[in-house]
Chain A
Amino acid sequence: MLPVPRCFAGLMVALALDAAPVIPPLRPDVQGVFPHGGQRGTEVVVSIKGRNLQNVNAIAFATPRIQAAILENTHNFLKARIRVDSAAEPGRRDFRIVAPQGSTIAWFEVSDRPESLEKEPNNSRDTAQAIQFPILLNGIVKPRDYDYFRFEARKGQTLTFDVTARRNNAPLDPTIDLLDDKGSVLEWCDDYYAFKDTHLVYTFGRAGVYFLRLYGTGESGNDNGDYRLRAGEMPHAYYAMPMGAPSGSVVEFRLAGVNLQDVNRVVLGEDLASGEVLATSPTSATVRMAIPGSLPPGRHKLHIDGAALPVPFVVGDIPQATVARAGRQLARGKRDPYPVTLPVVVNGVIDEARAADYFSFRVDGPETVSLTVDSMQLGYLLDPMVALYDEDGKRLAWQDEPTTNTGRDPSNFDPHLVFQLPKAGRYTAMVRDSQFRGDANYAYRLTLRKARPDFQLTVIGTDETLYRGVERIVKVRVRRLDGWNTPVAVWAENLPPGVTASKAVAQPEPTPFKNTCGEEHLMDGTNVELLFAVAANAEASFQTIRIRGRGAMEGRTIEREAHTRYWWRTNQSVRGLAETADMRVTVAEAPQLVLAVPARLNLPPKAPGKLDVVVTRLDSGQAPLRIEAAEAAEGLSLDPADVPAGATQAQLTVSLAREGRVSLVLVGKSGGKILGQSPPIVVETSAKGASSAADEN
């Protein structure tokens, strides 16, 4: 049984009202990728399942170090060969599937170790697949499917089990159980990461044979529910401490985690810098690294040879301090706060429940300061909150999250508190988990500085299809930082020929919204809409556009470019920044008719069934629409339906005279002219009776 969101009904209504498109999406829709990654320096043949894949003409990665060639494609299936350069940076990489009706984004993970595949049948302990560590295994969990893996462990051996599924947008909510040789559950993990993927570190008390059971929570699963299991006695680092460094500096950082005793190579990003390993132990490794002065501020990843996952590393431009030392926490006392001088980035870990870190600083007069915590946005599960105290310990201000979850917009749970200190003196800043939790990997970076007003721009979605003669709205979020309080002008540039876009001004007033419970909230920013208009004769094209914003405050004029954010299909939510900031736009001919149908129709044996069709008619015609089979498959009969102008639904009677399956394509005609056709529908007879499936292949 899958959990139901607290305010699910409200969410669904909001989605239904907000997401109703004028033209149903006809661009490629990716529902599954298998395998979802490959080792660098190898070629991998990947199967992509989805819809509207028949006209895909290119697969493009953001990095030139990965190339893809299409081997075959149909409406719901595409096979491609992906070649990964040996110098490609490990990690999840964006790729676009490009077709005349638009492009869409998907993910592929580059790994640095050999990969293997799950071998069915492995649905019980008796048929468990034997594995040896370390391993990176790709598998699929279907509904009510269990994947068992048999392995041996030594006494005292610490093994890491990490499953990536939802983080790659796979429709699988995985659970793992660790079983002893008699089948008793020793340990388990369901949700570990924010997107429900699992992670388990276990030290075995005795040598023996064990089993790993991997399945969909509550026996959920999906034909496209792929996972990548990383397991073994591999290094696994929670964080680097400090979690970043100024560019041009030489930094010594400590990796904290498990199985770190043999770490011998640490690389920043795509070979941006290589670290010298100074010392190691099972739970830590000390590394010295020179950060190139040419690196602009930004987020990167530290890759540890052989590790399950990289850890984030931020290149910044202001001095930093570290309060989480090996075996010591330097900032735990409210009465004895850790002294810092502004501006500063403090690196810490809230490693115990009810713990908080305190920092004292001085201002020489009235001053507006900002306290910004980066944690959740770096991938950690700390839900940070900050507070500010005066010299007497009186709390002046606090903030949990700037914006609660809207249900569909980018939320931000890392606090950003701006406060005007009234006078010179010593003040104390505090960071803790808002739920008073603590964990070894609740790492954070607190930026404490005099406010420097600025703004950011983000766009939800990475790809847009613009139809000739049709207008389209793109929403842009302007987030004001450090007390920015003047308007920001927003516009789009590098538009395709025949496309124009309105400009907009984001006033310094937060946009109100209702969350999924219908409660009124304010965003920590302002949403503006850019209206894209496409000329009727605009040329078909596919190109990159940029959305920019400009504002002036306190004599400074600042211009920023919007960064695109992913739109995740599996949970209808927004998560993280795309690998590249820009948006890809396709200009295409608008369809006259879209017939939305289920991918599959199961019929009872020798009996008719009903086929529901959602009709979107865009030809402005007033004559009825006739829907019928494009061609008659053997044994298939379908009663045509006449749909009056303005109607949006039709139901057709279908029967299949024989056992088996056939493909059915519907065609819509009006006034003797074919307006459009449906994607293929798999019609089959099934003893279970009539049913249809919209999202399966």
Chain B
Amino acid sequence: MDPLAASQIRQDPRLVALQKKRDSFAWTLAIIMLVVYYGFIFLVAFRPDIMGMNVGGVVTLGSPLGLGVILLAIILTGVYVARANGEFDRMTTEIVAGVQQRSGYAAGNRQTIGAAR
């Protein structure tokens, strides 16, 4: 794409907002996941007595906690996918449409915006 359109897109306040929003969202989810996972692992490592507590029948606390970590991973994935495919894709489409209108640049699409970053 031509450099003029690229710099125009880069300065677009909506793109800056999108990047900021998207990055902080992704990092928030990643940090939640890491904290929960390392919390679980440190419990296993340093407080095996907690993990070994009986929670009914032959089941110890470790198993439902482990299952919970797996379920949390699936839920966070769902949350990310919903927002990426909904809000973020909508913002991207708006930015592309805006640039096309202003510069008459016809071939702009998501890929060229990404490459311009």
Q: Does B associate with A?
A: no
Listed in ascending order, the chain A residues whose CB lies under 8 Å from chain B are none
Listed in ascending order, the chain B residues whose CB lies under 8 Å from chain A are none
